[in-house]
Structure 1
Amino acid sequence: MVSLAEFVQLFLDRKIELLELFIEHMNMTTLAVFISLAIGVPVGILITRSKPVAQVVIGAANVMQSIPCIALLAFSVPFVGIGTKPAILMVIVYALLPIIKNTYTGIMSIDPKTIEVAKGIGMTKWKRLLRIEIPIALPFIMSGIRISAVAAVGTMTIAAFAGAGGLGWFINLGLNSQNIDLVLLGAIPASLMALGLDFLLGRLEHAITPEGLRPPELIQNISKEKRRREQVVAFGLCALLVLLPVGFSVAEAVDSQGKDKIVVGSSNFTEVMILGYMYSDLIESNTDIEVEERFNLNGGVVCFNAIQNGDIDMFVEYTGSILPNYLHETIDTNDPQAVYEKAAELLKRDYNILLSEPLGFNNTYVMSVRPDTAQRYQIRTLSQLMQAAPQLRLGCTVEFIQRGDCLPLLEERFGTSFQSEKGLDSSIRYQAIAAGEIDVIDAFATDALLEKQGLTLIEDDVGFFPPYDAVNLVRQETLDKYPELEPVLAKMDGLLDEETMRALNAKVDIEGMDAKDVAHQFLVEKGLVA
């Protein structure tokens, strides 16, 4: 249930951050649409000269747009890195089709007799294009641009999963904590931005469309001076939208020159964001190094690719994930020290990445059910859960389904399968079990939502799940460049336990606090920052 008073208070508390993210979102969107326009209109014009080429180009654009945007984003990250580049590239791909197709359709719909008349009076190809074809096709072209711009605003919310920021940051935070107010704090400005862009482009279309090409009821007898002013205002506002992101980029580049800077990254769930903020706070409070935060990256694999490419310098991960996911090694022991030592050795040897000492808590898998399910099927242990599995519906993360040491091995070891298995986002699975759509989820030991929903934790009576000790991965090159970092980062070693981490997560996911504030308060309480 959304409370207007609570939403207004949230808006007031985070209005500065909202403004920054709004500007960031607008800059990325307008730049992507402008590049799409610069590519799409010329391509749309060129393919009018050959129908076979047009079919191939439009077909290719259709295929590209059919790719899910999150998949396209993930695919582009290894090639162009994280941040704004993959986000803008993703939106360009999605914005091209309407612009190309509408430009082509507009020009091809021109009456051939009109072109013949233009040829008859001696117009060259360029004059026909500029004075006849483009003006007549302009309503079609502008329609394609408006469709692309509105769609680009929504698509750009996915940019947050590549560390590009924008309004998708609030949406993702809200989904993680099941906080509808945070979701709306990102979604409402995005909707208003889309409406504003559409209105502005509509005014531009009105200003540049010749009077004779409008429907009779829309023709206005206005003076040339008034029409000129309308065109100047419309073009000026559109030019401003394009020049602003360029100006911001140049200003950031100039400001960062000569400064010592490291990039702290994190995946896209509450716990690692809190820990990321802790590391950022410690570094900025104890050194002269500037910290750039690239949080909310779409999973640990994206983080690992980013640290290899030098896009980030550090991020928090778990020993039980490092070995199978990044090092492609099987975990043949449940001894936490042995798993840690193997991960540390291989990361250093193969990737020149240093593994910190464990942060102090083990965030391992904990299968969980509603209390009524546990009572109905008499489930207390993992063995009892798997005996009842054929009657239960499992909703878990996609990673749990795919990893060979998780669901496939679990079903193989017990010789049974769940009635159904659905791959869900980490936050959605909690909503699904609360709604009764699934019976079992793959929770984590420090998840605050376990306590919020009162779920029953299943005891791992056979020691199936390996240890998932939280650790920090740091590029050795970064430590060599900034040797003062090592004792600062070591302040986090052994600092937390499961109960403490669960309580910190609860402050964000249940009480609605900002993860950055939670991290800072904890470090202040521990006397690690002022």
Structure 2
Amino acid sequence: MSQLITTFQNQQGQFWQALLEHIQISLISIFIALLIGIPLALLLRRYPKLAEVVLQITGILQTIPSLALLGLLIPFIGIGSLPAIVALVVYAIFPIVQNTYTGLSQIEPSLIEAATAFGMNRRERLMKFELSLAMPFIMAGIRTSTVMVIGTATLAALIGAGGLGNFILLGINMNDVSLILIGAISSALLAILFSALLKLLEGAKIKTIVLSFFIGLLILGGSYYRPHRDTHPQITIAGKLGAEPDIIINMYKLLIEQDSDIRVNLKTNFGDTTFLYNALKANKIDLYPEYTGTITSTFLKSPVQSTDPTVVWQKAQEGIKALNHFAYLSPMQFQNTYALAVKTDFAKAHHLKTISDLKNVPDLTAGFDVEFANRTDGNIGLKKVYGLNLNVKTMQSSLIYKALNTGAVNVAEVYSTDSQIKQYGLTVLEDDQNLFPPYQAAPMMNESLLKKYPELKQILNQLSGEITAQQMIEMNYEVNVNQASPEKVAREFLKKNGLI
């Protein structure tokens, strides 16, 4: 519990922003679903046969896995809040339509006949007593949709829409239970709170309910209001999940705002490589740090047959410019590449310094993730280049360090700047046959951004050749283990090295 409280205190700034984003996405989705669902149910009441078909279709849409739905939407409407809202609306409509239709259908026909006899038309019947009688059903549908939407909205973080899901994704990425609990518990409490508020409205008059929803809509609109508009030019910089990208983009922000009149908006823990790349292509963001090896192997689909960092960077720079007209500036010194690590006492006992030394140790069990186990610059390369035939156990990357620390595996796939290397006191084996390609971080952006703000090149290139692997490990350790803020760690490094 104390660890959970400490983590929450250290993450307060990001928490309140994530909470606001979560509420905004959820409420927008609910309001849109209401605007579609209730009129649709009123229309279907007049066409019972059509109603059965529509309810079946909306029910089927709700069975589509949310991750699959988000994936299907990305090619058409990109990433960010829009596809998340569309997906949430799809899930929210069915309970609203079904309950509204059921509530209206349950009204005694004799009441409708009596109202007609008194001269009421369809609209008057609806407003004077039909909606009142159906309201408990309607509110139950809205409550169900609201709880469902708030829970499902955690997945919005996967496509860069923010929200409490950021904490869950970051916690999984860092194997930090406290972060996962912060995201999960907050989402659950939010759902309970809104469910309780809607429960209070179930017995209220229609005017009170409509007024309450109108007030909610005004508050939602007000949450987007920014009273003081900054007249400075602004750019948006995003980073992948994890401490390292977070530290790097904070360095970019500090340098840019010190040496120019540009103001920087940060999107931390924005998502994985694919989402950031697509966001940059769609001009949803202006800049993000990418790794040389990732560009050559993932985007260019042509891994460079060289382990010279300069050659790989040049190929990445030329290739990404030809592919997307992206500018790719000079990289930092450290490489966040693949590596093999063992516990230090195991290394001493078996005299291990290089990967080649592993051939002298029989019956080794290795912990790899599925991707590394099947990569040519992973386990396939270890067999071909080093002649290693390891007993491989595949597992989620966040579990590999725990498996190594507990002795479940002897050798682990790691990234060379991971904070866990210091946290668990591991020995990283030298890649003496140069199997693993260079992965150096450098800022990537549209060429149009550099034309608009040419000063960015000189500002960001101040980090060119800076930051050793050991320095990056130390900074990652400060954020992941000591719970220091990435902004503070970035600022301290830049000050120490005379850059600010």
Q: 1:83 to 1:34 in 2, by over 3 A?
A: same
Q: 1:251-282 CA distances to partner (integer Å, 9 max, x unpaired)? A: 37x825x5411111111121111101110111
Shift of 1:480: 0.6
**Aligned match for 2:220, one of 239, 245, 269:** 245
1:347 partner letter: I
Partner of 1:193: 190
How many angstroms apart in 1 are the aligned matches of 2:134 and 2:355? 66
1:502 aligns with 2:476: no
- Which digits, 9 at most, give the CA deviation of each residue in 1:199-235, with x for residues without a partner? 11111112137xxxxxxxxxxxxxxxxxxxxx64x65
Are the equivalent residues in 2 in contact too, given 1:263–1:312 (CA < 8 A)? Answer: yes
Counterpart residue type for residue 244 of structure 1: I
Give the TM-score taking structure 1 as reference length: 0.81
User: 1:376: Cα distance to partner?
Assistant: 11
Given that 1:47 and 1:53 are in contact with CA atoms closer than 8 Å, whether structure 2 keeps it comes out as yes
Residues 485 and 497 (structure 1), Cα distance of their counterparts in 2 relative to 1, 3 Å cut: same
1:395: how far off? Answer: 4.6
Deviations 1:40-87 (A, max 9, x none): 222333344445544543444344333443444454445434443233
Q: Please give the residue correspondences for 1:266-345 in structure 2 after superposition, counting only pairs within 5 Å.
A: 266-345=239-318
The DSSP-based 3-state class of the residue aligned with 1:297 is strand
The one of 403, 407, 414 equivalent to 1:443 is 414
- Report the AA paired with residue 242 of structure 1: L
With over 3 angstroms needed to count, the CA separation of the structure-2 counterparts of 1:392 and 1:72, relative to structure 1, is: farther
1:466 alignment partner, SS class: coil
SS of the residue corresponding to residue 266 of structure 1 reads: strand
For 2:85 and 2:411, the matched residues in 1 are separated by 38
- CA shift, 1:316, in A, is 0.9
Deviations, residues 408-466 of structure 1 (Å, cap 9, x unaligned): 666787696866534x3x43544565567777653200000233234454554543221
With the length of structure 2 as denominator, give the TM-score of the two structures: 0.86
Separation in 1 of the partners of 2:410 and 2:58?
A: 42
Q: Which residue is equivalent to 2:447?
A: 476
Q: Contact 1:264 / 1:292 at 8 angstroms: preserved in 2?
A: yes
| Counterparts in 2 of 1:418 and 1:243: CA distance versus 1, 3 Å | farther
Closer, same or farther: CA 345–447 of 1 in aligned 2, 3 Å: same
Does the residue aligned with 1:495 lie in a helix, a strand or coil?
coil
After superposition, give the CA deviation of every residue in 1:449-488 in whole Å (9 maximum; x if it has no partner): 2332344545545432211122221221111101121111
> Residues 459, 43 of structure 1: CA spacing in aligned structure 2 closer, same or farther, 3 A cutoff?
farther
- Does residue 65 in structure 1 map to residue 40 in structure 2? no
Unaligned runs of 5+ in 1: 210-230
Q: Secondary structure at the match of 1:255?
A: coil
Name the structure 1 match of 2:144: 147
**Does the Cα contact within 8 Å between 1:449 and 1:506 map onto a contact in 2?**
yes
Q: Map residues 10-89 of structure 1 onto 2, 5 A cutoff.
A: 10-12=7-9, 14-50=11-47, 53-89=50-86
- Alignment match, 1:213: none
8 Å Cα contact 2:367-2:403 kept in structure 1: no
How far is the alpha carbon of 1:9 from its aligned partner?
5.0
2:423 aligned partner: 452
Q: In 2, Cα distance between the equivalents of 1:25 and 1:380?
A: 48
Look up the match of 1:366.
339
The answer (yes or no) to whether the contact 1:27–1:242 under 8 Å persists in 2 is no
C-alpha distance in 2 between matches for 1:429 and 1:407: 15
1:491 aligned onto 2:462: yes
Larger displacement relative to structure 2 (274-283 or 453-462):
453-462
Counterpart-to-counterpart distance in 1, 2:372 and 2:216 = 43
2:367 and 2:400 in contact (8 A); partners too? no
**Distance change in 2, residues 1:427/1:94 (3 Å):** farther
Residue 479 of structure 2 aligns to which amino acid in structure 1? V
Q: Which amino acid aligns with 1:88?
A: I
| Cα 1:141–1:318 shift into 2, 3 Å | same
Residue 225 of structure 1: aligned partner: none
Which of the residues 379, 384, 398 maps onto 1:427? 398
Q: Partner residue of 2:229?
A: 255
How many Å separate the matches in 1 of 2:111 and 2:388?
Answer: 75
Counterparts of 1:287 and 1:356 in 2: how far apart (Å)? 18
C-alpha separation between the residues in 2 aligned to 1:466 and 1:402?
Answer: 16
Percent identical across equivalent pairs? 34
Letter matched to residue 266 of structure 1: G
Query: What RMSD, in angstroms, separates the aligned Cα atoms of the two structures?
Result: 3.6
Alpha-carbon distance, 1:191 to partner: 3.0
